[in-house]
Structure 1
Amino acid sequence: MRMVELNGASLGPGDLFLWRPVAAAAPLEESAAPPSYVQEQHLQQCDARRMAGVTQPRWAGVAVDLPGRLDHDVLSAALSAVVRRHDSLSCTFRVERGEAQRLTVPIGTAGFAVENLGTAASGAEAASRLIEAFDRWTEPFVWPAFLFAAVARESGWTLLFAADRVHADLYSLGYVAHEMVECYEAGAGSRPARLLPSAVYSEYCAAERVAAPDDRARDAAARRWLDLAEAAGGTFPGFPVDLGGGPDQPHPAAYREIDLADAATAERFERWCRDRRGGLTSGLAAAVAHACAARDRFHAVLALQTRPSPAKSAIGWYVNAVPLTFAVADTNTNTNTNTDTDTDTDTHADFAGTLLAAQRAMLSGYRDAQTPYSPVTDQLPEKLGFEQACWLSLADFRHLPGADRHAEWNLRAVAAPRHTTGGDLWINRVDRGLAAHIRFPGTDEAHRAVTTFVDSLTAIIAGIADLGDVWT
């Protein structure tokens, strides 16, 4: 899965169509299941912006390329089947007196309002017009806050899904892509769709509230977050390298998608880390720490997936975050530099030390994951800048259904254009190897800093993978 802004999704010219679900004319019902904690935080922030008259679309989506000519009837039936499978797509929300509530939408057999947007003469025009439509139709307090679209050509077409973040996280986009394609191909081939059972997101939300930490656990979690901010210099950590600018200087966001390692190199890197009591995620965290020349400790906000079962197709917002901080081996203390072998030994020892520190920190973070971050960080002083913190995400997409076809589909996660003052870093393990996705302010200074950082990170991963040939 590649991750790009929709403007960079290479849609191509074609005829544009939108599919928006239509529900039965029936009153909405308040659900017994509350929103998840992360949904609640997002909705309260959206409500605050709405009350202030600020428009800031927060949709994310996915695009796949398919061969042949688009069959509108087959696609409508396929999309209806996808929507009806997931309760996370049959609800909407409201905020009253600061409290977020989930409302159930009686979607029944879910029909669609199909709109023909005309023909786009270029990929840029197609992206521009779809961005306008996605901005309009993904408002989180209106159902549906998601929609489907297609760019149809004489031979081949692109299918898209976009939703406000309240309905779908990054992994969800992979599940949606698979289900859209599988249901369409099944309908076109007059066969049953081969799908995983669907998870019930509202049950997850209810269980999250039942397992909510007590005051003592919440206070302990708040202390760990405060410790992270203090260790990072008084505010939550930003991007691993200085991007220039400042918190009051937002710029249009730029996006970089970089292949850090091919599949063989990624496999050797992971094996080296596992042989030294680490793992792929702790190895990547250690590599990031070395690439940014962290002095003695590395600090980050680590994103964690919280899906309860990989055996189900889970569409929703299954995300938590934990504070991550660990010691970085001092690469300047080694003096054995007489031969290439000595240099390799030094590199091996330095990275192995950081790897173990990262592994211990991550194991501690996984234990902290029992406490949802949002009700804790919402109570922390605003001056600590949690909203400006850099999120570090280390994900493995190889086990998603349909992952072996991602390259065939040219699968890409797409995002709304936005302004930003900081950066975020995703490193994803995919079939082709390791890929980094970076969002940062689109300034010359930030571009240079990101390029230097990525070059260093790529070299470190390759160097450790090469050590695997010598030291394993």
Structure 2
Amino acid sequence: MRQFPLETLRVAPGRLVEWRLRSPDARQAPDGGPGSARRASSNQDKHFTSAEQSRGSDDQVASWVAVTFELSGPLDRTALEAALLAFVRRHEVLRCAFQRLAGDLSCASYPPENLALDTAELGEFTTTEAVRSFLADRFRATIDTLGWPLFTMGAVVRDASSTVYLAFDHIVCDGVSMPNVVHDIARAYTAALDGREPELPPTGSYLDFADTQRRRFLALTAEDAGLDHWRAYTERAGAFFPPFPLDLGVEPGRMYPIVNEACTLLDAAGAAAFDQVCRDAGGKPFMGVMAALARSLREAGGPEVYRALMPVSERGDGPWRHAVGWFVNTMPIEFPVTPGTDLPELMAHVKAAFTEMIRHVDVPFVRAWELLAPEHFAAPAWPYPVNFFSYIDMRRCPGADHHEVWRPTTHVWSSRANGACLWFQRDDEGLHMNVIHVDTPQARRTMTGLEQILSRTVLEISGTVVARRPSVSTLATLGTLRQQAGVAPVGAAR
């Protein structure tokens, strides 16, 4: 399972059918009476507030997370509709509505038994390009943080197979939710075909998780010992947010259109060798990827201390493992990248930094931001380009043993940005990278150079000679721009 731009999805043409969650009667409020509304999480509150602040501005903040997967054979629409409705009923966050109560963001859910689906026939699409273009436009038009529902569902239907797609506002999900989406719907669809109830593991409600977390940290102050790690980091770094260490050619306070690209860094054999080298060096594969990136940034002109924000899953192995929601905290990590340091020593630095980071992972990032960097908190985006690193091993996700059949893919999109974000995914086919960065001439040059250095670095660490694959994505428009600028596209075969 990989993450790459929707515009490069290999989807066969077909007839598009969409299902939209039907809003209950306008006179009926979400579930429960007085006091039943729960507090939104810190992530959700900040996301919702940013959407409110940017609405109507030139730099409107918008984003979505999408997933696709395959169903073989002629589509049984009744079975798929049953699976989709069961999925929405299973995950409470998908049927909740947000509202301001005394300035605070709260949410309450509609009763599952009152929900239904409306079907829309969107027409026949005869080319892959037409399908991809339509879906990208459709997601941008229908996913609205301030609207309801906060997701859309559909399928590209063909005689012998169908591609199911779902797109969500970030406020109701994270990247690790996407494998759960595929697992739940695909399992429920198979069960519906067999005329039985799906056998799915129990799951908790993100609304309960969010409410508990939010109330726990309401009384936190800037002097609280729980923020010692953030304060010490900020003092050493000189700033709350770790800046992206290379030039992207951005102006302060300005947002830009994005470039969304992806490539395969290592194929299956190369990734397996890389994983083993990392373990032999005393670390885990994700630590090796971070070490490789830190070394690459240093070679490209970055500092001798690697600093980044790293999303950390809050799911654990309990009731949240199979849930849909935004179970992500974001933490600062830092370690030295001294020239000449060998891999075991660098890995030891990464491991020590990660261990120290995890000791302080409880305090929500947004709450720390509000208390320790209040001068930036009111803004709808981070104040400048921030160094951001994410890694997911898709082989450990629920349903991973069926990914070869379901062929799931994940896609992220954002309307504007002021920096760069890097996501790494490990699956059975190798190690992959998806990058979203600002669309400036300097950023294109910088990110092209970084990807080339990183590609060489992971190959050197793995100790393998692997033929590089072309990038999964270099959008046609970007390719044209780069040709005009005389710059090779990120991920080009070499």
* Alpha-carbon distance in 2 for matches of 1:41, 1:272: 40
Gaps of 5+ in 1: 332-348, 468-472
Paired residue for 1:58, among 37, 55, 63? 63
Identical residues among aligned pairs (%) = 28
Deviations 1:423-446 (A, max 9, x none): 101112212222111111234443
In structure 2, the CA distance between the partners of 1:64 and 1:439, relative to structure 1 (3 Å rule), is same
Q: More displaced, 423-432 or 398-407?
A: 398-407
Paired residue for 2:332, among 315, 323, 346? 323
Q: More displaced, 46-55 or 301-310?
A: 46-55
The residue number in structure 1 matching 2:361 is: 369
Q: Is the 1:305–1:319 Cα contact (8 Å) retained in structure 2? A: yes
The answer on 1:301 being equivalent to 2:309 is yes
Tell me which stretches of 4 or more aligned residues in structure 1 moved more than 6 Å. Answer: none
1:72-87 aligned within 5 A: 72-87=77-92
* Alpha-carbon distance in 2 for matches of 1:96, 1:362: 38
Q: Is the 1:298–1:327 Cα contact (8 Å) retained in structure 2? A: yes
* Alpha-carbon distance in 1 for matches of 2:422, 2:239: 21
Q: Is the 2:99–2:107 Cα contact (8 Å) retained in structure 1? A: yes
Q: Is the 1:92–1:140 Cα contact (8 Å) retained in structure 2? A: no
The residue number in structure 1 matching 2:473 is: none
* Alpha-carbon distance in 1 for matches of 2:224, 2:316: 25
AA of the residue aligned to 1:369: V
- Secondary structure class of the residue paired with 1:242: coil
The residue number in structure 2 matching 1:157 is: 162
The residue number in structure 1 matching 2:411 is: 414
Q: Is the 2:247–2:442 Cα contact (8 Å) retained in structure 1? A: no
* Alpha-carbon distance in 2 for matches of 1:240, 1:405: 39
* Alpha-carbon distance in 1 for matches of 2:101, 2:38: 16
- Secondary structure class of the residue paired with 1:193: coil
1:40-439 aligned within 5 A: 40-50=45-55, 55-108=60-113, 110-212=115-217, 215=220, 219-220=224-225, 224-225=229-230, 228=233, 234=239, 236-248=241-253, 250-293=255-298, 294-309=302-317, 312-331=321-340, 349-379=341-371, 380-382=373-375, 386=382, 388=384, 389-416=386-413, 418-439=415-436
Q: More displaced, 109-118 or 256-265?
A: 256-265
Report the alpha carbon displacement of residue 369 of structure 1 after superposing the two structures with TM: 0.8
Deviations 1:417-467 (A, max 9, x none): 522231101112212222111111234443332232222223222222229
Report the alpha carbon displacement of residue 299 of structure 1 after superposing the two structures with TM: 0.8
AA of the residue aligned to 1:423: A
Report the alpha carbon displacement of residue 250 of structure 1 after superposing the two structures with TM: 3.8
* Alpha-carbon distance in 2 for matches of 1:260, 1:227: 35
* Alpha-carbon distance in 2 for matches of 1:456, 1:115: 47
* Alpha-carbon distance in 2 for matches of 1:327, 1:382: 29
Q: Is the 1:397–1:428 Cα contact (8 Å) retained in structure 2? A: yes
Cα RMSD (Å): 2.7
* Alpha-carbon distance in 1 for matches of 2:155, 2:178: 16
How many residue pairs get matched?
Answer: 450
Deviations 1:168-205 (A, max 9, x none): 10011110011121211222233442322222222212
Q: Is the 2:51–2:62 Cα contact (8 Å) retained in structure 1? A: no
Q: Scaled by the length of structure 2, what TM-score is found?
A: 0.83
Q: Is the 1:37–1:374 Cα contact (8 Å) retained in structure 2? A: yes
Q: Is the 2:419–2:438 Cα contact (8 Å) retained in structure 1? A: yes
The answer on 1:36 being equivalent to 2:41 is yes
